[in-house]
Structure 1
Amino acid sequence: MHDVLVAGALLAVLSGVMNGLFTLPMRFLGRWSWENVWSVFIVGACLLLPAVVVAVSAPGSWSLLLEAPGRAEAIAVGTGFAWGFGAIMFGQSVSAIGIALANTFVLAISSAFGSLIPMLLLTPNKIHERAGHVVLAGIAVEICGIALCGRAGLLRERAAGGKSDQRGDLVGEARPLAAAFLLVIGSGLLSAVFNIGFALAQPIARFGQVQGLSEFASTNLIWVLMLGGGAISNLGFCVFLLLKNVSGRKFLQPGGARLYGLGLLMAALWGGSIFVYGLATPKLGSLGASIGWPLSLATGLLVANIVGLLLGEWKGVPRRAMGWMLSGIGILVAAIVILSRANQ
C-alpha cells in the first residue's frame, strides 16, 4: 500500500512538472497571434491527444460512452466547457504578465478551491479525520508559499514594468496589472471546476472498470468528455478572434513548421499532464482528488517560477523580490511533502 501511495505522489509531481513547463513554448511564438497559438494547442491537447490515448489504451472503449451514467457524462462535459473559459483566461494572462506571475495566482486559487470542494462533496467526514487535517494543513502552508511568490511577482512588476527584454518573443501583448488580476482570478476559479468535475464524474470510471477496462483506461473516458467540452469553448473563442483580427493567414506563414511544432509541444506537455494526473489520483486513495490536485499544482507553480527565472522574467528586479520568491519556493516544497503524506 505504501509503494502505491508513493507512486501516486510521484505521478502527481510529474504531472505538475509537465503543467509548469507547458507555457514555455509561448515564449518563442511571437510571430503568431495569440489565437493562432491557442487554437493549435487546444486541437492537439483536447482533441488529438485524447483520441490517441484512448485508441492505444482501450480501442474498444468508445462505445462504452453510449452506456455510461448519463448524469456523470453531463457533469463531465459541462464542467469541461466551463473550464474552457478558464483556460482562455489563463492563456491571456500568460501573455499579459508572464509565465511565473500568471501561474502563481492561477494555481493558488485553483489549488485551494479544487482541493477542498471535492473533499466536501465526496468525503465530508474526512474533514474531521487525520487525513483531512493534513490536507488542510498542506493547503494552508501552500497558500503561504503562494502568497510569498505573489509578493515577489508584484515587486517584480513594479520594478520592471513590461520591458520587452523580459518578455522575449512571448506571444500576445502585455496588459495593465489590474486587468491581468481579473484574468487570473477568473481563470483560477474556473480551473478549480476542472478538478471538481473530474471528482464528480467518477461514476464513469467505475462503470468502465465494471466493463473490464483498466483503471487508467476507464479514467480516460472522463478526460475525453471533459476535454471535448473544453475544446468547444476554447475553439469558439479562437475562431472569433481569428475572424475579428484576420489572423488566420498567419497559419500559412513561411517557416510555419517550427511554430506548429511548438504549439503541439504545448499540447503534449499539458495534455500529458492531465492523463498522468488521472493515473495518479486512484493510487492516492479516497482523498486522491484532494491530495493529487494541490500536489500537482504546487509542483507546477514551482517549475513555472524556475522557468520564469531562467528566461529572465526576474532580470533586474530588486534583491528583496528574489528573496521573497526563494522563500515562497521553499515553503511550497514543504507543502508538497505534507500533502504527499496525507493518506499515510
Structure 2
Amino acid sequence: MGSSIILGIFWHFVGAASAACFYAPLKKVKNWSWETMWSIAGLFSWIILPWSISYFLLPDFWAYYASFGADILMPVFLFGAMWGVGNIGYGLTMRYLGMSMGIGIAIGITLIVGTLMTPILQGKFGELLASTGGKMTLLGVVIAVIGVAIVTYAGLLKEKTLGVQVEDFNLKKGLLLAIMCGIFSAGMSFAMSVAVPMHEKAAELGVDHLYVALPSYVIIMGGGAIINLGFCISRLCAKKELSFKKDISVAKSLLISNILFAILGGAMWYFQFFFYAWGHANIPTEYGFMSWMLHMSFYVLCGGIVGLALKEWFGTGKKPVRILCIGCLVIIVAANIVGLGMTN
C-alpha cells in the first residue's frame, strides 16, 4: 500500500474522530434550546471557519468565486443544501429509532449511496467491476457495511441491557426518515465530486494540494447552512416555548460557557471535513469516491471507541462490548482492503 494512500486513510480517520467527538462539548451547553445551540455551532462551523480559512488560502478571495459560472456553483450549492437536509433528518431519525438503530441505518445507507452513486452516475461502475483493484474496493464497501451493521447490533444490545427506551419510537416513521437521511446526507460526497473544477482552480492559484478542496466548502456548507439555520430560526420564531431571547438571557457566566462550548463543537464538526479534504487529496483520483466510504465507516468506528473511552458501555456486560469490538475490527479490515484495492 503506497504511503500516500496510507496518509489518506489516516487523515480520514482523524476527520472521523473529530466528527465522533463533536457532540461532547455540545452536551455541556445548559439551559439552551437545541435550536439555539445548533445555530451558534453551525454559524461557526458552516460560515465563519470555511470563509476565514478560504480567505487565508486564496490570493484573491472574491475573484476566485467570481471566476465560476452558475453551471459550476449551483450544483455544488444544491448538493450542499441536500447534505443540510440530511443533517436535520439525522436528528429526527434518532428521535424515532433511538441512537443505535438510527445511526446504523442512516450511516449504512449514506455510506452505500454516497460511495457508489458517484461512479454509477459518471458511468465508471463497469470499469470498477472489470478491474482487480475496483473489485477489491467494492468488496471493502460491502465489508464496511457489515461492520456498521455489527456495531449497530452491539448498540442495540447495549440499549436493551441498560433499559434505554425511545420515548417517541415509531418504526415506520423512523425508517422513512433514516432512508431519507441516508440518501440526503450523501450530498456532501456528490458536492465534492462536482466541485472538482473548484479544486483544480485552487491548485492553479498555488494552493497546496492538501487544501484545494477547502475553498469549495464556502459554497457546499453555505447550502447546508441555509437549510439548517432556516430550520432552527423558523422553529425559534414559531414555537412559544422556544426563544432565542430567553436563551441569551441566562446568567452571564453560563452564556459565555454555552457560547464557547457551542463554538468548540462547531469547530470540531468543521474539522472533520478539513481533514476529509486532506484524506481526499491523498486518495488516487480514480478512487476519489471511496473517501466517503472511509469517512463514514471510520465515523462509526470512532464513535464506538469514544463510547468505550467515556465508559458509556460500563455495566452492559461482555457480550455487547465483544460484538462492538468485532464490528470495529471488521471496519478496520474493510479500510485495509480498500487501501489495497487502490494500489492495484
**Correspondences of 1:40-189 after superposition (within 5 Å):** 40-93=40-93, 102-122=102-122, 123-124=124-125, 125-162=127-164, 175-176=168-169, 178=171, 179-189=173-183
Partner residue, 2:323: 324
Partner residue, 1:247: 243
| Structure 1 unpaired stretches of 5+ | 164-172
User: Using the alignment, how far apart are the partners of 1:209 and 1:73 within structure 2?
Assistant: 17
CA contact (8 A) 2:94 2:102 kept: yes
User: Using the alignment, how far apart are the partners of 2:233 and 2:4 within structure 1?
Assistant: 44
Secondary structure at the aligned position of 1:42 is classed as: helix
Change (3 A) 1:174 1:47: farther
User: Using the alignment, how far apart are the partners of 1:88 and 1:136 within structure 2?
Assistant: 29
Residue 73 of structure 1, CA deviation: 1.1
| Structure 2 unpaired stretches of 5+ | none
Change (3 A) 1:22 1:34: same
Give the letter for the 2:322 counterpart: G
Give the letter for the 1:84 counterpart: G
Change (3 A) 1:316 1:111: same
The reply to whether residue 225 of structure 1 matches residue 198 of structure 2 is no
TM-score if structure 2 supplies the norm length?
0.88
Residue 315 of structure 1, CA deviation: 4.4
User: Using the alignment, how far apart are the partners of 1:217 and 1:10 within structure 2?
Assistant: 16
Name the count of aligned residue pairs: 335
Change (3 A) 1:287 1:95: farther
User: Using the alignment, how far apart are the partners of 1:257 and 1:223 within structure 2?
Assistant: 28
User: Using the alignment, how far apart are the partners of 1:17 and 1:246 within structure 2?
Assistant: 32
> Normalized per residue, which structure has more helix?
1
CA contact (8 A) 1:282 1:288 kept: no
User: Using the alignment, how far apart are the partners of 1:41 and 1:67 within structure 2?
Assistant: 30
Give the letter for the 1:321 counterpart: P
Secondary structure at the aligned position of 1:317 is classed as: coil
* CA deviation map 1:250-282 (0-9, x unaligned): 133111222111211111111111121112213
User: Using the alignment, how far apart are the partners of 1:42 and 1:288 within structure 2?
Assistant: 30
Identical residues among aligned pairs (%): 23
User: Using the alignment, how far apart are the partners of 1:262 and 1:98 within structure 2?
Assistant: 25
Give the letter for the 1:192 counterpart: A
**Correspondences of 1:1-20 after superposition (within 5 Å):** 2-20=2-20
Secondary structure at the aligned position of 1:215 is classed as: coil
Change (3 A) 1:31 1:98: farther
CA RMSD of superposed structures (Å): 2.5
